[in-house]
Amino acid sequence: MPTALITGATSGIGAAFARRLAADAYSLVLVARDELRLARAADQLKLRYGVAVEVLPADLATEQGLERVESRLRDGVDLLVNNAGFGHPGHFPDVPVADEVRMLKVHCEAVLRLTLAALPGMRERDRGAVINVSSVAGFFTRGTYSASKAWVINFSESAASDVGNPRIRIMALCPGFVRTEFHQRALMDTSGIPGFMWLKADNVVRAAMRDLALGRRVSIPDFRYKAVVAIGRLIPRGLQSRVSGRIGR
């Protein structure tokens, strides 16, 4: 039975990955900060799908938390989903530097280190996959969040190329607006976002797993956001920045 480790596994896209992979008969390792919520999620998945579920409480913004997850990954997993992430309630440069650094640690350092921890076992077994959850925001300019997600896209494509093994796949997943707790936690006003632009987390995961199977290095779920990214690439960066500044939050 294959094993998948998912960070940020108790809500939103992470929880959707847990449901999908449990349905596909993966054993799960769930990583999140809230130990009680992790235990509830594990119990529900075991009851519904009959799979083995391990919980690993860890704060990926801390050295101790990162080391705990790195250690578990070195024991071997077949799929790593780097999903943990968050947004700021403020705008650069008004966000405290400690909060900015915390974001970079979770979005960038954790993705780098956990991928590196998982790869030796995958290379030894000559198979495996890593899905790094980025965002459509990574194709645009909008503060530290967009910058960190752009790094995830670039890193994923570069790492997939450098590994050079088609049996070990590394992919950046770049969804748009998804119905999760993300925006509420970041105190973002989403009232101005049209209803048709929202995606369901389960649909995002379905698209991600399809694109991973196809060997794609970047997955943009849904034709609407594929069009957004394509159009954005044609817009001058200065204009793009002004537009994203108006609608980004």
Question: Which are the catalytic amino acids?
Answer: 145, 149
| Nearest partner of 9 among 36, 43, 33, 44, judged by Cα | 33
Distance CA 77, CA 117 (A): 10
Q: Is residue 163 within 8 Å of 148, Cβ to Cβ?
A: no
Dmax over CA atoms of the chain, in Å, equals: 52
160-182 as b/e, with b when 16 or more CB fall inside 10 Å?
Answer: beebeeeebbbbbbbbbbbebeb
Distances, alpha carbon 22 to alpha carbons 1, 17, 61, 97, in Å:
11, 8, 27, 38
φ, ψ of residue 186 to 5 degrees: the values are: -90, 5
CB atoms within 10 A of CB 193: 15
